[in-house]
Each structure stands twice: as C-alpha cells, then as structure tokens.
Amino acid sequence: MNGQTTIHNSTPVIELKNLSRWYGEVLGVNRITATIYPGITGLLGPNGAGKTTLMNLICGLLRPSQGSVRIFGKPVWNNPKILSRIAYCTQYDSFYERMTSFEFLYFLLSVRGYDRATAKLLAVQALERLKLHDVMNKRLGGFSKGMRQRVKVALALADNPEILVLDEPLNSLDVVGRHEMMELIKSYGCEGRNVLISSHILHEIEEMTDNILMLSHGYLLAEGDVREVRGLLKQHPHKIYIRCDAPRRFASLLFEMNGAHSVQIDPDSEGLVAQTFDLDTFCHRLNDIVLNNHIHVSLVTVSDESIRAVFEYLTESAHV
C-alpha cells in the first residue's frame, strides 16, 4: 500500500509538492507530495491527521510554510483568479446568522462575480438541489445543524465549480441525509467534475470513491485504492455507538439477527456500542430493527477507531 502509485493519463488537477505547514512548533502537515487527478478523491485520516489543514492549503486559506500547491498548474496562495474554479465547503459551522439561506447564497454568489439575475437563479437552483427551497426565506440562525450543513454544500455546488472541496460534509446529517449527500457527491463526480472529500470514516469514503489519500499525524501515509485499506480492516471491526430508548432490547434483537460481532450496553443505559466486521449488513439490520420494532433511535455514529487501527498498522509497517 505504502508508496503505491497509480498511472493516470489525464492532466493533474491538484499538485502538492513537498508541502509542509507548521503552526509554530506544532506540525499541521509535513512534506506531502501528491497529485490529484480528475474524479472523486477521498482524504482519509483520524481526527487531528491534518485533513483540514491540507484542504485549507489547497484552497488558499493558509500559506504553505514550505513547498507548493498548484491547481491546474497555477499557485493558489493569493491568487483570486484560481478561486473562481474552486468551491470549498469548510467544517466551520458559522454563517451570517441574520440572513436567510437565499440571501446568504445570493450575496456570496454576487461576490463571486455573478450579476443579480444569475446569482438569484443559481441560489434558487442550489437550494432546490439540496431540498432547502421550502426554507429559503427563513433565517439561518434558526436552522438545525443538518440544514446548515446542507446550506454550506448548496453554496459550494451553486455555480458548478470545477473543483469541489468538501471537509467532512456528512457530519451532522441523519442517515437519510447522509445517503442523499453521498448520492449527490457521486453524481457530481460522475459529471466529470473533481471532488476532494475528507472523512475519518472509511465506509463513507468507500461509498463514493476508490481513490484515496491517507493522512496521519500530518504525514501522507498512503495514496491509491481504498480496497487495499478495506482488506486491512478485516482484522479491525467497526465500532458503532447507538443511542436509543431501549438499548437492551435493541442488543438482543441485533444478536437474534446475527447483526453484530459484539454488543456492549452503555453504563448510563441510554445506548449501546456494537462491533461489526461488515458495516453494510449491519446498517441494513439496523434499519430493519428500527422499522419493525418501533425503537426510537436518536443517534448513530461510527467511531473512527477502526480506521485509527489501520493507520497504526500502516505507520508500523512504514517504520519496519
């Protein structure tokens, strides 16, 4: 896996050369050299791996301490021209709270250089695409986290940029929302656009692309095919935390359906932690249990411990 290269015929979209970024003494990313080609590319790494720093460098929000970032062959730092070809959906949950979602998109599209009529049209289309047209005249301050996430993605998608950079866009979304978002991103990639998407959950990335960059502690650990990482995961089950109103019943139903490798009830009896090697089957079983047994589930999160284990494995292999 380590050091694997894939041969591409197409022109590179993003080129990172010996890219480093330090925050004083703290390392953000270190000596990253990689080339990103057209299509969807996943940026995978546990929390604190340097994914956001790398994305901020790629989009020109940060200046490299060393090395360079080139987009379509041009440097990105202090180069506003290139920004007309990129859209970046950040992790920051911050907005102009007093504005409506429509105004928010309309103003920022106008700053992007579109005239009034075009900005209005693009804003409405983007909100419709993200199923936010019903609330387009409501203030952003009153939006739920999931809706705010969708507004950010709508803004990023609004003018069909050539490069779409998404920093953990599936955060705060419910199961249906995640599925819809993944489909949207996939369809965007299928249209021949370039998408760079980050996540600390391998399963999410795997749903959308085979092509990944793996980061850990600021270093590029591997780049290439996600299936090779998947193979390594066989030794490391996924850990899923479920918060529901009947965790004991839920656990017994999971076992009955052979849906989990192990289940542990949370000490506060308000949830359970299940472990599985097959996340797809687990998700289907989870849906069946919820629908057939009327159990109210308030939260389902996949921990990144499994992917962390793979990172540890890869880090160890790299040192040997």
Residues that bind other proteins in the complex, under the rule CB under 8 A: 23, 56, 59-63, 78, 80-84, 86-88, 90, 92, 94-96, 98-99, 107-108, 110-113, 115
Least distance in Å: CB of 12 to other proteins?
Answer: 21
Q: Which is nearer to other proteins, 80 or 267 (CB)?
A: 80
Q: Which is nearer to other proteins, 52 or 275 (CB)?
A: 52
Q: Which is nearer to other proteins, 107 or 313 (CB)?
A: 107
Least distance in Å: CB of 275 to other proteins?
Answer: 33
Least distance in Å: CB of 202 to other proteins?
Answer: 26
Least distance in Å: CB of 32 to other proteins?
Answer: 18
Least distance in Å: CB of 139 to other proteins?
Answer: 12
Q: Which is nearer to other proteins, 3 or 80 (CB)?
A: 80
Least distance in Å: CB of 263 to other proteins?
Answer: 37
Least distance in Å: CB of 52 to other proteins?
Answer: 9
Q: Which is nearer to other proteins, 87 or 221 (CB)?
A: 87
Q: Which is nearer to other proteins, 145 or 284 (CB)?
A: 145
Least distance in Å: CB of 61 to other proteins?
Answer: 4
Q: Which is nearer to other proteins, 7 or 111 (CB)?
A: 111
Contact 143, 151 (CB under 8 A): yes
**Could you write out the DSSP letters of every residue in the chain?**
-TT------SPPSEEEEEEEEEETTEEEEEEEEEEE-SSEEEEE--TTSSHHHHHHHHTTSS--SEEEEEETTEE-TT-HHHHTTEEEE-S-----TTSBHHHHHHHHHHHTT--HHHHHHHHHHHHHHTT-GGGTTSBGGG--HHHHHHHHHHHHHTT--SEEEEESTTTT--HHHHHHHHHHHHHHHHTT-EEEEEES-HHHHHHH-SEEEEEETTEEEEEEEHHHHHHHHTTS-EEEEEEES-HHHHHHHHHHTT--SEEEE-TTSSEEEEEES-HHHHHHHHHHHHHHHT--EEEEEE-THHHHHHHHHHHHHHH-
Q: Which is nearer to other proteins, 96 or 255 (CB)?
A: 96
Amino acid at 43: L
**Residues contacting residue 234 through CB under 8 Å, at least 6 positions apart:** 277
